[in-house]
Every structure is written in C-alpha cells, then in structure tokens.
Structure 1
C-alpha cells in the first residue's frame, strides 16, 4: 500500500462509526428503562396519590339574587323571575403553615418511586368577614345565600389521611368535597351563620396528614403567608414562582421557609377568578399543568418542593453513556500511542474488540444498577472491563509491561467518570480540565514524531541531531592512486 497510515485511519473511522451505533443502541435501552420507571411512578400515583397541591383554607358562600320582571302588554302581560348566581369569598389575612415530610419508598418490580407523608399544622386568621355580606344589584330583589363554608383544596383527595379543624375552642366536623365550582377536591366544614359580616373576624387551625408522590406545591393564599417545611430527604428541588427566603440542606434532610405578601403574589386574585391549582410551577414541563391540559397562564401562583433522587440509576447511566464516545476516543489514542512509540502493529479488528469491551461497560452498568446500589454496580462493571482490557492488551501489545499501564489508564478514566457523575455544579469544569491534561500528555509524548515519515510508510522514528563533522572517507580511486605513487 502506498499510504498505510491513511488506510489505517479509514479502518479506524469505520470501526468508530460501528461502535457509535452500538452506543446509540445502549442509550435506547437506558431510555426504555427510564420510560418504564415513569410508568411505575404513574402506576404508584394511580394507586396511592399523585403530586399534591395545597390551597386554603378559604371561606366561601354561594348566593342567588332573584327579581321579577314584567314582560308583554295588555292581556299578554306576565311576570318572569330572573336570577343571578354568584360566589362570595373571604381570603385569610394571615396564613401560617408548619409541616414535616417523611419519605416512603414504593416499588413496582425493579423500579422505585419516592412518596411522602406530609403532616401539616395550619393557622389562618381573617380580620373581617364583611366580604361575605351579599349586595343587591336590583331593586326589590330577593337574596338567598347558603351557609358559609370553610374549605381546603388539595390536588388529589385520595391522599388525605387525617384532618381536624378547630374554630376557637370548637372542633368542626369535616366532610369530603369543597362545594366550590372550580376547586372540588378537598374537604370542608360548615360555619355558623353568625360569622357572616363578623367584624372581629375569626381564627381557625387545622391539622392535616397528606400523602402524595414526588412533589408538593402550595398556593400562598394569605395576605401574609409563612410556610415552614422540614424533611429527612437530603435532595430537595425548589421550584414554582417563589424560592425559599431561607433554606438549609444537610446530609440528613432539609429545612426551608417562605415568607410572602399579597403585594408580591397574585394568588388571591387568581383564586377569585377561578384559575387552576396545578401540580407544578412555572418552571415545569407542560405535562405538569394538569388537569385538562392547563398552561402556566391558567395556573394560580404557587411554589413547590420536589423530592428528587439524584442517584437515580437510570439518569446516572444516561449521563455515563454520553461519555462513551470520549472513552472510545481516549482508549484508541492510548493504543495508538503504544503502537507508535513501541513500533507495534495493532490490527483494526483488535481496535474493534477493545471498543466493544468499552461499550459493554455501559450495558453492564445499567443492568447491574437495577439490582445493586449504583456505586457497587459501577465498581463491578468497571473492574470487569479493566481486567479484560488489561489481559487482552498484554497480548495485543506484546507483554504485561505494556498491558498493565493501558489497563491502569482505563481504570483512571473510569474513576474520573465516576467523580463526574457524582458532581453537579463542577462536572463541566472538572471534565474540561481532565480532557486538557490528556491532550497535553499526548502532545508531549508525540512532540518528536516524524508524521511525514509515517504517511510514507517508514517506521516511526524520533529525529536525531546531525552528526559531528568528520573528514570524508577516502574513495577507492584515491586510495589506489596513493598506493601507486608510493615509493
């Protein structure tokens, strides 16, 4: 062959394309497993309770105003009753919520889902209930209003375990439903008619136990809203329209506190006009704005806490497979350096086998992580691949002295990848620095390689300094003449 280097590079390019196809198939497997996990979460939500949203407490009263209207003339004159239906609402001026969330793990087969058990204590104060006094709009009209109802709306009423409502010293009987035309899921209690128009207002307290899946959202309905939440889960994700004013995330859990004023949120106006209370916040995907395909503009202001699992084996495996191309490239570079510096010949089929072993690591990782902790799965898959590659490289490169360094380098790559998977904020910086160091090492090792000589088919050699000047050797003709002229 006139250009063996170009032929070798073309073969390696074809092998790389084949390995990339294999990596894409492994990524499809990881996505399928992630989809199965999502179906598991949906199954748990259908059997237990889905993501929850709390809205309330709030007082409302349904009213009907009716009046008589005369129509027609003469003998055809008749009286027709017309009516207007409307809802009177009263939002609390002060709303305080103290809650603690205990995590419970539920599983369907191999897949696990985080559920929570929320125990909350709420206190709400109304300064005046004058807003519950109906105002007539027609002369001589008749007004009829139902009893004032205090309600608490939730995203999924199946998650309500226990609830108790206290008005002063009196415990009110809670019943399912809210009798609200928009927020029908939840619970309610009937208030005495005497509270309507009560100038001093009233104060209530509620103890609520609520279970749900993966996330809890709260609508800041008070004129001043204070929410304090604690949990033993160390990986919260705060979202929605408002972040906590104070938060502390520890290895054994977190605590967070929100303090909001009606000057900063439109929650009261949103609820008065019937905006939806949604599962998520404005930063979530469109599928989170259930029910009925609601969009962010249809949802009332809220904030939420998601109990995410950062060591989800499928998300970590998906992140790991994204480094597969880099693994293959760096390993091929390492083998190529041995081939170049030690003047070896490695067949393209051997490159293919080495790349296939690297690809098998990612498949081993995702399969083992379904049965073992992710750290143990990673260690087992990486150890198996390192031992296999070190053994094969010792024969491919002509000895243990060459195979073991290659295996050590691959082990270092696996160690670096594990560190990158554990990092969240600094993964990009660490990966970029490591890649720069590898590139610098390759450049240093190949700084004296005669690349033109490689392209012409000559064995790789390091350039040597020019020899020192010596007297030119005598030619045969000059030696002969010298011998002839000798006496």
Structure 2
C-alpha cells in the first residue's frame, strides 16, 4: 500500500506542476496578443501617414436633370420641379499602374508602403440622354467624377477629355472636371500619382474592365477580392498581374486588386508554436519519469517544476527575440538556450553525463519537430499526429515489461534501506 501511495503522490504532484506550467504558457500567449496589438497599432500609424489603403471607387459622368416630383398635401396630389443627378458608367475602362514599395519603420516595427502611377483610359456613351422624355437633362452642366480619396494623390491631376486638357477640382468624394459636352460619346485620359499602404483596390463599374499592375513587391495577395487576375507572374524581382473583366454588372459592387503581404508573419508562427506548449511540458516530464524508472534517479517536485519552467521560457525567449531578429535565428537561440539549460541541470542532478546527453537528444527531437511543423503549415496536422503516435509507441515500448511495478519495488527497497539504517 505504501508503494502505491508513493507513486500516486508522485503522479499527483507532476499533474499539479503541469497545470501550473500550462497557466504560465497561457500568460505568455496573453503577452503575445499584447505585442501583436502593439505591432498592429504601429503598422496602422505607418499606413495612415502613407495615405491608408488605396481605393479607386469608380469613374462616372454625372448629369444633372429636372423632373416632376409627385407629392400629396392634405390628400391633394401635387407636383413640383426637382433636380437630381444621374450617374453614367463607362462602357470600357483600361487602367495601367506601376507600383514601387518601401519599408517604413516605427520603433521596432516595420510595414510596407507604396507609391506609383495610375494611367486611366475610359470611354463613355451618353446617347441614352436623347431617349428619356420624362426627364429634362442638362448636359451643359455635366461633369466627370473619379471617386478617389485626396490623401491617395501625390499631385494635382489633369483630365484629357476628347483630347482637350481640363482642370480638375475636389468635389465630394473624388476628383471632378467639366465635360464640355458636345456629343454623346466621350474619351477620358488621366495619369495619377498615387500613394498608399496595405491594399490596392479598384472598383469595377464598366462593362469592359482591364487592370494591369507591375510592382517590385514579391509577395502579393490576390484573395479577398471579387476576381483573381487573369494572368500573373511572381518572381524575386516583383510581380505583374492583369485582370480582364468583360460584362461586369455595374449594379454590383465588385473590386479587383492586391494586398501587400509580408512573407513571414512572425506572430502567426508564434501563435502556432504556443499551441504546442503542452508537448514541451509533458514530453520532458515523461522523459524524466522514465529516467526515474530505469536510471535509479530520484527527482524532487521542485526539480520537475524548474525543468518544465525552462521549457516554457523557450516561448518567451522566442517572442522577445523574434521582434529583433529573423524567426529562424530566434528559434535556434531560444531552443539551444532552453535545451542546454535543462540538459546540464539534469546531468548535474544525476551526476551522469549520459543522462544529460539523452535529455539533449529529447530536446533536439522536440524542437526539430516543432520547427518542421511551423514551416509546413499545410502538413502540421499530419506531422503532429505522427509525432504523437511515436511518443505513445516509445512509452509503450519502455513500459512493456511491467516497469512501473519495478519502479515501485525499487522505491520500496530504498525506503526499507533508509528505515534499517535509521534503526
């Protein structure tokens, strides 16, 4: 009975220690969330200073018109003359853009921003004005409207309308210019010097839309938009992409473009690493427990706690270093520091170099597994399942001959020796 009580107490104490270490791991996860929010605030400040997300929200010809509005006054039907605007979408739009990027820094955080040119060619047809008898149009008051934020522009743009240069002015939510209406068809050309950050987006409001983009950014993201590029090419010098959208519905809000994605999102990898915190606590504990079974070691609960704490500190070191150096280097330094610390500690306790080296081998396997899993996001579940299977298989192998019973016997013998020596 005494043997059983000793083993039970050992397992209970180990369970309590594992629970405490998991709480510590959760606290590191909370710190990670705080650091990510700080990073996001810094990136938002950089983005805002660079003009924010670039968006060209459409190109229109706006024509004022008069109509008779019907209303009721004390039940009597009346009419009054009212004025409104009708927005004509272009038949065809072609946009060519060349984008250059640079990295801006705020404190220890960095974020990409971009500048470039936007060449726009658009064709309009206002012949339908002649067919509507219910409205009195005023084409002489018509104007072009390019919906774009003024903070996205780096210079005052000019419109070429049917070959005639026209000055532009800020108007409501964009840049406007008079049409100098002479006939039902218009051709507009303009070149904009733009700036922005995070995203580049163009609203599709033409029956035939083409967008060509060239940039030096090497990791663009095309998802999150309504249409993927018809053609794209990405290499170490940047990317080129083309969107061809025929027969797009002008009544629906469709947009095309790209996002500046940073090739290595450190915080995503750190979140995934912390999710494996349980393994980094339980596997070293199992290893130490096996050493007690086979190597005749006797470890105190405090020694289990300190060994586990060193494994948890690995994640804190990884978080701190990853904000200053690349993830791979941070991982190697953090893993080496934690693994060597625990291995030397166990070697010192047991006074056996072989046990310390065995512990090093366990940490090398553990850290190698995690690094491969973090580098292979698509295969993380498969790798994790295989690793868990191998751990269980190893445990079953070492305990296949009633080794737990042998541990109880060894423990009892040592206690009897202590009692006899005391007597």
Q: Give the structure-1-normalised TM-score.
A: 0.75
In the alignment, what sits opposite 2:204? 220
Q: Structure 2 residue aligned with 1:99, among 97, 100, 113?
A: 97
Deviation at 1:56, TM superposition (A): 2.5
Give unmatched runs, 5+ long, in structure 1: 73-79, 178-183, 271-299, 461-487
CA distance in 2 between partners of 1:136 and 1:31 (Å): 62
In the alignment, what sits opposite 2:181? 193
Q: Structure 2 residue aligned with 1:254, among 239, 263, 266?
A: 239
Cα displacement string for residues 415-437 of structure 1 (whole angstroms, at most 9, x for unaligned residues): 33223223332333333333333
Q: Structure 2 residue aligned with 1:170, among 148, 164, 167?
A: 164
1:426 is paired with a residue whose SS is helix
CA RMSD between the two structures: 2.8
- Structure that is richer in helix per residue: 2
The structure having more radius of gyration, on CA atoms, is 1
Q: Structure 2 residue aligned with 1:137, among 134, 140, 160?
A: 134
Deviation at 1:351, TM superposition (A): 1.3
Deviation at 1:164, TM superposition (A): 4.2
Cα displacement string for residues 436-466 of structure 1 (whole angstroms, at most 9, x for unaligned residues): 3333333333333444555xx2239xxxxxx
Q: Structure 2 residue aligned with 1:332, among 285, 300, 304?
A: 285
Contact 1:148 1:193 in 2 (8 A): yes
CA distance in 1 between partners of 2:341 and 2:139 (Å): 81
Distance 1:409 1:90, change over 3 A: same
In the alignment, structure 1 residue 269 sits paired with structure 2 residue 251: yes
CA distance in 1 between partners of 2:239 and 2:291 (Å): 51
In the alignment, what sits opposite 2:86? 88
Contact 2:161 2:179 in 1 (8 A): no
Q: Give the structure-2-normalised TM-score.
A: 0.86
Contact 2:122 2:189 in 1 (8 A): yes
Aligned length: 403
Contact 2:47 2:198 in 1 (8 A): no
In the alignment, what sits opposite 1:441? 394
Distance 1:16 1:256, change over 3 A: same
CA distance in 2 between partners of 1:34 and 1:357 (Å): 24
Q: Structure 2 residue aligned with 1:307, among 251, 260, 267?
A: 260
Q: Structure 2 residue aligned with 1:19, among 15, 18, 21?
A: 21
Distance 1:226 1:395, change over 3 A: same
Distance 1:422 1:168, change over 3 A: farther
CA distance in 1 between partners of 2:30 and 2:69 (Å): 67
CA distance in 1 between partners of 2:101 and 2:362 (Å): 41
Cα displacement string for residues 84-143 of structure 1 (whole angstroms, at most 9, x for unaligned residues): 2222222222222222332222222122222222422222223x32134583428xxx65
Deviation at 1:23, TM superposition (A): 0.8
In the alignment, what sits opposite 1:389? 342
